[in-house]
Copies of this chain bind each other. A is one copy, B any other.
Amino acid sequence: MANAIPDIVISRLPIYLQALSRLAKQGHKVTTSSQELGELLGISSAQIRKDLSHFGEFGKQGTGYHISYLHEQLQRILKLDQEWPVALIGAGFLGHALASYGGFRPRGFHVAWIFDSDPAKIGTEVGGVLVQDVAELEATIRRENVQIAIIAVPASAAQEITNRLVEAGITAILTYAPLTLAVPDQVHVQYSDPVVQLQRMTYYLER
């Protein structure tokens, strides 16, 4: 209990949440087991039990886990029992797709601000949100105390935008740009370059 919880454990909790939502939506059952969750996710039951044990005892021997209770607890642990507003930088095709995505709100997030540098886009609405001039980036982030940003700008602009975001107080970044961002230690970054993801699989393919 004393030690910090491994990052790799934290990174699996959202997946558990996903499986629990799915079971809850099906509505067949009230409880599930580490075994069933494991089969759904392709993870061993022991790993699921061990991961959860970092945070408390959520299950009952002989019965398993109460689906909605465990779901609530994981939401609480991940601080998803609130809705996080997200700043989106870039209103191109990808920014459009993200702004219009209906999957954020039911799972704890919503795109609250969109920024772009293109005068043709500034002032338009994308996914119901007004596109602002990127010049207002810092002022807005500071005023609204924004913590999370999504970067959907070209590679050439990504590091400069990152610097400005960090300087203004952002501490969590999801980036689609194809490069490694230089950030201070306290800033968390998740990378989502589709090409890198494809390149991680070709090694295993037959030509």
Partner-B contacts on A (CB < 8 A): 10-11, 13-15, 17-19, 22, 40-42, 77-80, 82, 84, 86, 92-94, 96-98, 100-101, 103-104, 107-109, 147-148, 150, 155, 171-172, 174, 178-180, 182, 188, 190, 192-207
Whether B205 pairs with A104 at a CB distance below 8 angstroms is no
Rounded to whole Å, the gap between the CB of A38 and the closest CB of chain B is 11
Docked pose: A109 CA to B205 CA in angstroms: 14
- A194 and B98 contacting across the interface, CB-CB below 8 Å: yes
* With A18-B178, A96-B97, A103-B178: A80-B199 Cβ-Cβ less than 8 Å: yes
Say whether B100 contacts A200, CB under 8 Å. Answer: no
A94 proximity list for chain B (CB < 8 A): 97, 101
Contacts of A108 in B (CB 8 A): 195, 198-199, 202
A188 and B174 in contact (CB under 8 A), knowing A93-B97, A180-B15?
Answer: no
